[in-house]
Chains A and B, each alone.
Chain A
Amino acid sequence: MEVIPLLKQLTEADGIAGYEGPIRELVRQTWQPFVDEMREDKLGNLIALRRGTGPEPRPKLMLAAHMDEIGLMVTGLEKGFLRITRVGGTDRRVLLGLEVIVHGQQDMPGIVATRPPHVLPEAERKASVPWDKLFVDVGLPAEEVERLVTVGDLISIRRETVELKNRRVAGKAMDDRACVAAVTLALEQLAGVRHAWDVYAVATVQEETGLKGAMTSAYGVAPDLAVALDVTFGKHPGVPDVDAWPLGEGPTLGTGPNFHPGLVKRLKEVAEAHEIPCHMEAVPGRSGTDAWAIQVTREGVPTALVAIPLRYMHQPVETLAAQDVERAGRLLAAFIAGLEADFLDRLTWDGTAAR
């Protein structure tokens, strides 16, 4: 599978947190050829199983990448204009002048607008616009708008994904559809490979609003090990070096309290053995990813995080290197292929058994 067309397809689909229907359907179709079973749980997580070949009862590995994206929602109608709020951490600094789609009785194109600078007092001109001064204009008369739009309707960001130089790709929802793509590549690579463990690939929901899909899907799957995939901060002027990683030098592996050191060590060894470049990422506390929720499910799950460096997170110009997505996919596939049936017995804390 070519990664750039895959990225384009996944990121251009709709799927705001809580309303992931369209992206879920796309992921379902995309994963179908590579998995044995698929189901949707009560919150809408898509859970796919690739059975392993080891002796039963087989241990379970969960892969998690979130399919939801941030967006906007209608909170009120005023003279034909729509008042809005965010769904997830939408960055209001980049909303002005953005093209959007309002999902009312029908899909309508719209623009995020505010009063022009010429008429604003000096102080307001210099500040970024607060939520209650932003509105969406669909260019229709007020009575039409009343008929077609209701409080609670969703608004998606309208953005085509484009390829920049050096196989860098920019668009909306790279967070975290890029990792859904990485998981897809891994599943494709495993198609011809024997692996001992059962692999549950989960496209989670509502990560952007509180890691909710990860929490509930991990409870349902009850995995013995988990690897979450998300994006991390890409190097960019103005972002301190300690907080960001270069594009094109591979994914990062998280190290810190959220991750089991034995599992992280194994991923590092696999990367080295297969010459997949990657960097370590120090995470002193909350990782802000599905890994944080999965680790404390039920009796606890040894968890790791593979992250793809991404510039301009939560803005409709999220940029990454396609090579890093490919590398993440290869790393996962190699890791899974090499996972021994008794790996858990070796996963100890200071020489004392974990189980």
Chain B
Amino acid sequence: MKELVRKLVETYGPSGVEEQIRAVIRAEVEPLADELRVDPLGSLVVHKRGSGGGKRIALDAHMDEIGVMVTYVDEKGFARFMRIGGVGPLTCIGARVAFADGTMGVIGVERKRDDPNKVPTFEQLYMDVGATSRDDCPVHVGDAAVFVRPFQAQGTRLIAKAMDDRISCAVLIETLRRLEQTPHDVYLIFSVQEETTLSGARTSTYGIEPDLAIAVDVTGTGDTPECRPMAVELGKGPAVKVQDRGMIAHPAVRDLLVQRAKAANIPYQMEVLEFGTTDAAAMQLVRAGVPAGCLSIPCRYIHTPSEMVDERDVENGVRLLLEVLQAA
């Protein structure tokens, strides 16, 4: 599975420009799907028919990653940019970014700021692609770039940019690969635009009308120095979400995940996230409501280019989803 993760995290795919990552995921899932389609906003929806008698279940992971978009090219060929999704100024300084065609940029900060000790604002950052004027600048207003950082494994830790949420895409793909039999009608949504607007999950779910929805996404941990208290730790198992800032997990879905984990002796943790939300928040409100929950992969350094997960949590996440799908 490490190779799959490497391929996924290193592919370009910021919110709104998901073509490349969709093609990579499509190649992985097409041979395993009964039906496959791309819906109006670009989400990839895979249908795996069950043996019958079960429910219609939608699983979801988002394909898009955070990044930056060029907002202006000045006279000297430097580009100003805005963030795509939850990017912070601190992770930008000195970072390298790559555009769809491979063009690279370096992010610099205005040295002549009022207070050099304060965190700079996005207006005080700029991108250098090696141009000398507006005319010879290879990037234009509206072009999007992602952070560049190679995938690395060390012990059981996996480190890369875009673990959020390519690790969950890997979980879904692996689950689909190992799924032998299920009574349920299973849909796997690889959604677009989660980092900006949760658009993909919401609209895809409208088309599917599931009885139950489980989003798979990363969540934070409370196990690094002087961090905000949080009961989730790397390596202690996938987390069952109770609530986050955008959603209260449906108790039935939350309990289902806990029961299956207990019955199969899969380690798990309970998660309350104080900031941020996932596709599940949007899926829950579609039409007349969908019981929705979230299975989270604990992750340190979320929304930095070095997101870190533990492969045991990932493996246990796959096992737990299989338990949910294979039982009635």
Contacts and interface: CB of A to CB of B under 8 A. Distances in A.
Interface of A: 17-19, 41-43, 45, 73-78, 83, 85, 87, 131-132, 150-152, 206, 209-210, 212, 215-217, 219-220
23 contacts: A18-B243, A41-B288, A41-B289, A43-B250, A73-B242, A73-B272, A75-B229, A75-B231, A76-B229, A77-B231, A85-B272, A85-B274, A87-B243, A151-B231, A151-B270, A151-B271, A151-B272, A152-B271, A152-B272, A210-B246, A216-B288, A216-B289, A220-B287
Max count, chain B CB within 10 A of own CB: residue among A42, A83, A150: A42
B23 interface: no
Contacts of A212: 284-285, 289
Interface string B232-247: 0000000000110011
Interface residues of B, number: 26
B130 interface: no
Contacts of B289: 41-43, 45, 212, 216-217, 219-220
A45 B269 CA distance: 29
Contacts, number: 74
B248 A87 contact: yes
A217 B269 CA distance: 32
Given A41-B289, A75-B231, 7 more contacts: A18-B243, A18-B248, A18-B249, A18-B251, A42-B288, A42-B290, A73-B243
Interface in B270-309: 270-272, 274, 284-285, 287-291
B113 interface: no
A150 B271 CA distance: 10
A216 B251 contact: no
Nearest to B232: A151
A152 B250 contact: no
Nearest to B222: A76
B228 interface: yes
A165 B289 CA distance: 43
Contact of A75 (B247, B269, B272, B291): B272
A85 B228 CA distance: 12
Interface in B64-99: none
A216 B285 contact: yes
B170 to A, nearest CB: 26
A234 to B, nearest CB: 29
A302 to B, nearest CB: 20
